[in-house]
Amino acid sequence: MSEFLDKAAEKYHPGLSVDCVIFGFHENELKVLLLKMKHTSKWALPGGFVEKNEHIDLAAIRVLENRTGLKDIFLKQFYTFGDPDRHDHEMDLELFKQSGRDPVKDHWFLQRFITMGYYALIEFSKASPRPDDISDACEWKSVDELPDMILDHREIADKALDTLRFQINYQPIGHKLLPVKFTMPELQRLYETILGKELDRRNFQRKMLAYGILKDLGERRKGGAHKAPYLYSFDVKKYNAALKIGLKGSW
């Protein structure tokens, strides 16, 4: 930590950071990847500083790759968090003490930071969560049971979920969150989990097929009964087009 504080002022842009809300879907639950901070009972979103000559989107991608081991992640900037009171001076002073250094009043690390919020959608089973230098663990937590979090990280997580729920009304959701092959009930459960409400089965299937972004694979889930549901996959080309031009209708 001491070496980081010495070199960071030269490497990173002062007052600017990124925080990432990484969503995964597992066992019919929407989850968020969190870090257990050292020397505290609180948790944090994966985040980091922006290098002086680095595009801010690339800073977020770097954080995501370091924490999940994944590349080619769906990533979207969704909000800027700039409340002057979001800064936790006591926590930063504690990090200084842990490094064996005396705090310097005008040190860049102790100043106000504005953070850019990003959310990412990843396939749960492919991620390899990894803690960083100031955390003890990196774990998935249900969005319905988030633990006590540092700074305004709970607000950032809630805002990301609100944004995801809004997006679902005009853009497709599912690619990166589901396996390559999935059933219609699995896709519906994902939508219901994000929206926090039940959807009519027939209406859901009719609407999803009308979007033209699904491919019927003509096979059933292996190991299931004779009436096991059919498998689908996303038509990636049409899915990506729908991300750009949008979908008609809302949930």
Q: Which domain holds residue 214?
A: 174-245
Q: What pLDDT, on the 0 to 100 scale, is given for residue 56?
A: 95
How many domains does one find in the chain?
2
For residue 10, give the H/E element and its range: helix 2-11
- Mean pLDDT of all residues in 176-187: 94
Q: Which residue has the higher pLDDT, 226 or 145?
A: 145
CATH number of domain containing 241: 1.10.10.10
83 part of a folded domain: yes
Give the model's confidence band at 1: pLDDT under 50 very low, under 70 low, under 90 confident, else very high: low
Q: What pLDDT, on the 0 to 100 scale, is given for residue 30?
A: 95
State pTM to two decimals: 0.86
Among the residues of 13-152, which ranges form H helices? 56-68, 89-98
Contact 7, 49 (CB under 8 A): no
179 in the same domain as 120: no
110 in the same domain as 20: yes
250 part of a folded domain: no
Tell which of 140, 167, 194 closes a domain. Answer: 167
DSSP at 110: G
178 in the same domain as 160: no
Tell which of 167, 191, 213 closes a domain. Answer: 167
223 part of a folded domain: yes
Tell which of 167, 188, 220 closes a domain. Answer: 167
Token pair belonging to 241: 């087009």
Q: What pLDDT, on the 0 to 100 scale, is given for residue 74?
A: 86
Q: What pLDDT, on the 0 to 100 scale, is given for residue 38?
A: 83
Q: What pLDDT, on the 0 to 100 scale, is given for residue 21?
A: 97
Separation between Cα atoms, residue 233 and residue 47, nearest integer Å? 32
Separation between Cα atoms, residue 15 and residue 159, nearest integer Å? 21
- Per-residue pLDDT tens for 30-40? 999 999 988 78
- Is 224's pLDDT higher than 70? no
For residue 118, give the H/E element and its range: strand 114-121
